[in-house]
A and B are shown apart, each in its own frame.
Chain A
Amino acid sequence: MSTLHLDLAQTQEQQLDELLRTLPAPEEPARGVVADWPVVTSFLADPSWEILFKNVWSAEGGAVSESVLRRPASDAMPPEEQRLAVKIYVSSLGPLEAREYFLRQALSPAGREPLYELEKHDDVVILRLAAPLPAAGDSDAPVNNDSLLLLYRNVVFDLRSYQSTVNVRRLGLRLQHFAEQFAGRELKAQDAPASQLAHRNLDQEIVVDLPATPDPFGDFRGTDFDVKIQASGAVAFLGFQGPTARFQQLGPGEGSIRVQTIHRRTLLASEVAVNLP
């Protein structure tokens, strides 16, 4: 694995861009990681980590799963609660979109120019955003606010530690080794969750079929899917009814509907967008 340090003659963007160009050309049709992602705590040796916050959302060409873990302070540990944030981005389209996502995350990360170092090995790129802090007091274990981005094929791992003794580089490589077992699968549209425009009827009602049925209040947390609805302009959202989202066209004006669907375990995503009239 080669390590590249900041070259002051080049901008960070130039260096990253050049590095990403050396990655293997994406295959046709697009291939990548299609994994059933386990809970993030399973990648940590210490069982005292617990999940504080979890969310999934649609991102450019894919989806992000964000988990924030905490490890309560104890006598043997640093005085502050330790936290660890793990974001996993999976492109549903292929490695090119993941490279663009990686670049965006790398180039706009901070309120100041971050110190960083780059590593590359075959199709793995690691960008360290923060230089490690010195060990606290006389402790042998370095307590870091550490941060790195790791790109592997169609996946980007974004790891941050706060007051934590976790080695984020090692964690990143553990996640990447897991992903490696599920790489090389063809990224077919049928792997993504299927939301599709069902029909428009004479009452100007528009129906979008969903891959799951939410609870009566539109909560999908009990299902394998996350669904986000947007209706704007001359369109009103009427509600969910079984595995459908229903909309009403309110008149002759322009309107739009957007339904984003994410499979929570694979993080494959799809989107239905309808512009009216």
Chain B
Amino acid sequence: MIESLSLHKPHIEHWLVLSAILFAIGLYGLLSRRNAIGILMSIELMLNSAILNLAAFNRFVAPASVDGQIMALFVTAVAAAEAVVGMAIFVAIFRHRRIIDVNRMDLMKD
């Protein structure tokens, strides 16, 4: 089976399916995790699935250009910044209220 797999080079469909699986896992985590850190990690997962898409399309649709790769780098940078801001907010909330459970963070309805 390994051999048969190694004989096939992965094509764009494979990458897209992988990306979709990653995105779905991330989405599930986003909706179901109670821990704020876990939600942040799920978001990273979803962003990475998007990056994977960009890189795959770059490779298989327009191999001569580097647009997709550059976009992927941008997204990575933005994701890092977003993670920093998100973590900072959670740390602030934790310091203030001693909680990290998002079920109890329901101040937006007031």
Question: Do A and B interact with each other, yes or no?
Answer: no
**Residues of chain A having any CB pair with chain B under 8 Å:** none
**Residues of chain B having any CB pair with chain A under 8 Å:** none
